[in-house]
Amino acid sequence: MRNRHLIARVYLSLTLVLLYVPIFYLIYFSFSSGKNMNKFEHFTFAHYQTLFQDNRLLAIFLETILLALLSSLIATIIGTFGAIAISGMKKESHKKTTLALNNVLMVSPDVIIGASFLIFFTALGIGLNFGSVLLSHIAFSIPIVVLMVLPRLNEMDMSLIDAARDLGANSWQVFSNVLIPAIMPGIFSGMFMALTYSLDDFAVTFFVTGNGFSTLSVEIYSRARQGIDLEINALSTVMFLFVLILVGIYYFITTKKSRRKNHRVIGGLVK
Amino acid sequence: MRTRKALFLIPYLLWIFLFVILPILLILWYSFTDSNRSFTLNNYVVFFRNGTFLRMMINSFWYAMLITLLTLVISYPAAYFLTKMKNQQLWLLLIILPTWINLLLKAYAFIGILGNNGLVNQFLHLFGIGPVNILFTDFAFIFVATYIEIPFMILPIFNAIKEINPAVIQASEDLGASRWQTFRYVLWPLSRPGVESGVQAIFIPSLSLFMLTRLIGGNRVITLGTAIEEYFMTTMNWNMGATIGVILIVLMVIVMLITSRKARRKKVDL
Amino acid sequence: MKKIFIAIISILLVCLGLAGLANHLEKPTAEGKKQSLIIYNWGDYLDPKLIKKFEKQSGYHVVYETFDSNEAMYTKIKQGGTAYDLTIPSEYMVTKMRKAHLLDRLNKQKIPNMKYIGKSFLHKSFDAENDYSVPYFWGTLGIVYNDKFVKKGAIKNWNDLWSKKYHHQILLVDSARDAMGMSLVSLGYSMNTTSSMKLHLAQTKLDGLGPNIKAIISDEMRMYMIQNEAAIGVTWSGEAYEMMESNSHLHYVVPKEGSNLWFDNFVVPKTAKNKKAAFEFINFMLEPKNAAQNARYVGYATPNVAAQKLLPKYIREDRQFYPDQTTLRHLQVFKDLGPKKTQEYNDLFLEFKMYAR
């Protein structure tokens, strides 16, 4: 038994090493004065200086976050409404068709989503810029929000609503005081997923961007095609620290909470 | 109440119409027209007549399958061991953390790691093995893709295994089942849903990794994603690109129908 | 519910703040409302110092965006949603864009510095009166090799690349016209061949090169060649120039059988919003001093005769980059072959890429 435990530890540690080697490799060379990732020359902060003077890259960084926040917010609102509407459908067949249509974007490969949106924007004469990227991000985030909220609605005790109504609550009060609080966890994780989708997306944005607007993924892609530039390494260090702090806060909060309620929290952190 | 319901429905239905139905119709329309916007079936004829496209199709599915399989082989034990650990939340967090680093940054790291003077070759050099070509090979492409997908496979499997009642496994061991038997007849079937959702979460994105075929595969690996990207962005033949897209969509639908029928049958069996 | 509204509003406020900050970062010089000039150019194809200089001199804010193939650029401009003021296509693409009515006539009075352009670079077939385009750089397609892995002088012809010695050693430029053109020339055909039979022969010949190909890439080839990652690269003269500056083991050869001679040109798309600034910028870049500085930075040959005189002698007289008349006679300029033939080139090249192993 003890032995098995050791194997488990070793295997997991090896997996973690595999997962982290590329990230630490990037970070390590961000301090090298050389020009490539082959030999560490001297220790330097020069690449960080370049990074923090690179206004274009910093602006893209901010705009990427802006895009993620805005698109996930709008997608969450539309998606939640959609989920409420679906759960209220009387006919089973309507429900099924709507859900099937909802899932189309979930199961389509990114390139096809990107390509079809490009055709769509061209057909409607919409220019390629921040607006088109925002619309696309909202569009591909809505289905996941619906899928996260819907189970909560189905689980919900309908007698609660009846009870509220019996107590004389009007429909707005039922909506805002009973329904929304009950499905809040679903809404929250839906928004979280939408945020990750948006931050993580490359393929769709690649197709529908233009006119000087770019997200981090697209910018890194075009820079990586020029070859290695240690400024990108510096950027990855900064992003890694950023994520580390965020996740650290998250871990701190959830472990404090889950001491009372023992549930899987972190599972919701990922796609 | 009725009007309020409509209020909920309108933005959502608008979305379904504009971003689901309309794009599908448009892509269909493009696949059935030529560059002069007149109706033609030629794109499909070219696709099925010209062995290249079929071969590319098979190729991409083959690569996607290899990536999925490799990810599964690496992830399953990891997920299983994870359920045995004490600080599960912390381990889990450590595994999820890399997914938050931008995908392109990780791909970029591998350009350095796999090069002739990169980390791997420096390591091999210690054993006197001369520089090996790794970057720009099929292996490199599959390896990097697997690397990126691992956390997305560990998570659903972990969740599925965790839901299994430990008493069941205990019982199987008490009844004298070997470790293999326990895995084969108890653990594997019970963790199937997790494996299935993991496979789904990886197989589909694997078809559109055109940035990796370019950066890591050196354009020697051409998948459907690469082809669609080329037809749309480089050669400007949207009609052919749309045709490839339509065929891919049809294949997806078929695969989904088959798997869902299977699921239904399972329910009846029970 | 109140909490939710507060959350929504605070997210919107954060967004507003981010937008403001990003806007501020992208336009650091924005005192009041200055007009901007959006340039759409190849990656690393213009000395950034000159952009700064132009911004200071003219007061325009310059946005510099890049593409990595003529076709990708064409796609984005044709799509119509873009508003680039200035872009730099190659000669055959100028023809194609003109045919598609994507280009605007140049106001030559606004570009007096055009007088510095050498006569042999004006009135080319792709734009006989130079109504739409001003030559920016010109160069050739050729072979770079590393003398650590390849004996000096061992590569003189395209056909040398097919040698079994170079297994998995060649980096090929990711461009259908160039790769197919190379194969066509090695067979003794024209780079503008339209015969399907000959094109298929060229593709078959290219397939034979498959085992020698390490990767099919574009911009990043520079880095790999500098890092001794591959022995041979097929690329353009200016790329080669930059590689050779960083790695003295590299040599550039324009094969004897002939090769491609190309011109990149300033053009103003019809969708441009700030044509005045575009003309001003073209004129600025034609200023001999600026053109010379740019040529030294970029490494391609400049058609600007006055600027050539300002370049150091070793560059001006380097026959690899400023080939003599005899070599020039062997070189061929791409013609626009029309959409159908172009598609055929692209399809054959894509097929080759699929089988390249």
pLDDT in tens, A111-121: 999 999 999 99
* Same domain, residue pair C276 and C184: no
Q: Per-residue pLDDT averaged across A23-33, rounded? A: 93
Q: Per-residue pLDDT averaged across A127-141, rounded? A: 92
Q: Do C81 and A56 touch (CB under 8 A)?
A: no
Contact partners for chain B, using 3 or more CB pairs closer than 8 A, are A, C
Confidence check: pLDDT of A268 > 70 = no
How high is the pLDDT of residue C142? 94
Whether B228 contacts B3, CB under 8 Å: no
State whether residue C49 is helix, strand or coil.
Answer: helix
Express each pLDDT in A44-83 by its tens digit. Answer: 999 999 899 888 888 898 999 999 999 999 999 999 999 9
How high is the pLDDT of residue B20? 92
Q: Do B133 and C168 touch (CB under 8 A)?
A: yes
State whether residue B65 is helix, strand or coil.
Answer: helix
* Same domain, residue pair C311 and C332: no
- State the best of A112, A145, A149, A262 to mutate against chain B, taking most chain B CBs within 10 Å: A112
Nearest CA-CA partner of C74 in C37, C99, C48: C99
As a dihedral over the C-alpha atoms of residue C143, residue C144, residue C150, residue C151, rounded to 10 degrees, the angle is 80
| Chain centre distance of CA B222 | 16
- State the best of A37, A39, A63, A134 to mutate against chain C, taking most chain C CBs within 10 Å: A63
Express each pLDDT in B13-24 by its tens digit. Answer: 999 999 999 999
Amino acid identity, residue A202? F
Task: In whole angstroms, give the CA distance from residue C239 to residue C241.
Answer: 5
How far does the CA of residue A93 sit from the closest CA of chain C (Å)?
A: 33
Q: Do A226 and C220 touch (CB under 8 A)?
A: yes
Express each pLDDT in B35-78 by its tens digit. Answer: 788 898 988 998 888 788 888 888 888 999 999 999 999 999 99
Report if residue B207 sits inside a domain. yes
Surface of A (116-145) touching B: CB under 8 A: 116-120, 123, 135, 139, 142
Confidence check: pLDDT of B261 > 60 = no
* Same domain, residue pair C111 and C207: no
Identify the architecture of domain A56-227 in CATH.
Orthogonal Bundle (1.10)
* B236 lies within 8 A of chain A by CB: no
How high is the pLDDT of residue A234? 94
Structurally, how many domains does chain B consist of? 1
| Chain centre distance of CA A164 | 35
How high is the pLDDT of residue A264? 44
Task: In whole angstroms, give the CA distance from residue C307 to residue C113.
Answer: 11
* B201 lies within 8 A of chain A by CB: yes
* Same domain, residue pair C273 and C335: no
- Interface confidence, given as ipTM, is 0.85
* Same domain, residue pair C157 and C234: yes
Confidence check: pLDDT of C33 > 70 = no
Instruction: Give the pair of three-digit tokens for residue A213.
Output: 């607007």
Report if residue B64 sits inside a domain. yes
* Same domain, residue pair C238 and C349: yes
Report if residue C276 sits inside a domain. yes
* C114 lies within 8 A of chain B by CB: no
Provide the mean pLDDT of chain C.
88
Residue C31 has phi, psi (to 5 degrees) of -95, 115
Which chain B residues contact residue C339 at CB under 8 A?
35
How far does the CA of residue C63 sit from the closest CA of chain A (Å)?
A: 7
Report if residue B33 sits inside a domain. no
How high is the pLDDT of residue C327? 79
* Same domain, residue pair C96 and C200: no
Whether C209 contacts C349, CB under 8 Å: no
Report if residue B45 sits inside a domain. no
Report if residue C195 sits inside a domain. yes
Which chain A residues contact residue C79 at CB under 8 A?
118, 122, 128, 210
* B142 lies within 8 A of chain A by CB: no
Confidence check: pLDDT of A265 > 60 = no
Across A137-151, B76-90, C24-38, C64-78, least confident range: C24-38
How high is the pLDDT of residue C315? 83
Confidence check: pLDDT of C236 > 50 = yes
* Same domain, residue pair C108 and C257: no
* Same domain, residue pair C248 and C346: yes
Confidence check: pLDDT of C245 > 90 = no
User: What CATH code is carried by the domain that includes residue C256?
Assistant: 3.40.190.10
Locate the domains of chain A by residue range.
56-227
How high is the pLDDT of residue C69? 78
Report if residue C117 sits inside a domain. yes
How high is the pLDDT of residue B177? 84
Beta bridge partners of C138: C263, C301
User: What angle, rounded to 10 degrees, do the helices at A130-155 and A92-107 form?
Assistant: 140
Our CA angle for C247, C250, C256, nearest 5°, is 155
Nearest to C215 among B52, B136, B237 (CB): B136
Give the ranges where chain C is alpha helix by DSSP (H). 2-26, 48-58, 70-79, 91-99, 176-186, 196-209, 221-226, 237-246, 275-286, 288-298, 305-310, 313-316, 325-330, 338-355
Across B112-126, B254-268, C33-47, C105-119, least confident range: B254-268
User: C276 Cβ partners below 8 Å, 6+ apart?
Assistant: C110
* Same domain, residue pair C109 and C179: no
Residue C65 has phi, psi (to 5 degrees) of -120, 155
Across A149-163, A247-261, B92-106, least confident range: A247-261
Place of tokens 């959702």: B197
Instruction: Give the pair of three-digit tokens for residue C178.
Output: 């160039």
Report if residue C2 sits inside a domain. no
Q: Per-residue pLDDT averaged across C183-205, rounded? A: 94
Report if residue C204 sits inside a domain. yes
Express each pLDDT in B183-223 by its tens digit. Answer: 888 889 989 888 988 888 888 888 888 889 888 988 888 88
How high is the pLDDT of residue C318? 82
**Integer Rg of chain C from CA:** 22
Confidence check: pLDDT of A164 > 70 = yes
Confidence check: pLDDT of B7 > 80 = no
* Same domain, residue pair C71 and C156: no
Confidence check: pLDDT of C175 > 80 = yes
How high is the pLDDT of residue A271? 39
Q: Per-residue pLDDT averaged across C44-55, rounded? A: 90
C64 carries a ligand binding annotation? no
Nearest CA-CA partner of A191 in A243, A242, A137: A137
How high is the pLDDT of residue C40? 92
Q: Per-residue pLDDT averaged across A104-131, rounded? A: 89
Q: Per-residue pLDDT averaged across C248-255, rounded? A: 92
Q: Per-residue pLDDT averaged across B158-167, rounded? A: 89
Structurally, how many domains does chain C consist of? 2
Report if residue C179 sits inside a domain. yes
* Same domain, residue pair C186 and C158: yes
Confidence check: pLDDT of C194 > 60 = yes
- Residue B196 burial by CB count (10 A; 0-12/13-18/19+): exposed, middle or buried? middle
Whether C142 contacts C331, CB under 8 Å: no
Task: In whole angstroms, give the CA distance from residue B8 to residue B27.
Answer: 29
Helix (H) or strand (E) holding A187: helix A180-200
Q: What range defines the domain where residue C237 resides? A: 139-261+323-355
As a dihedral over the C-alpha atoms of residue C233, residue C238, residue C243, residue C245, rounded to 10 degrees, the angle is 150
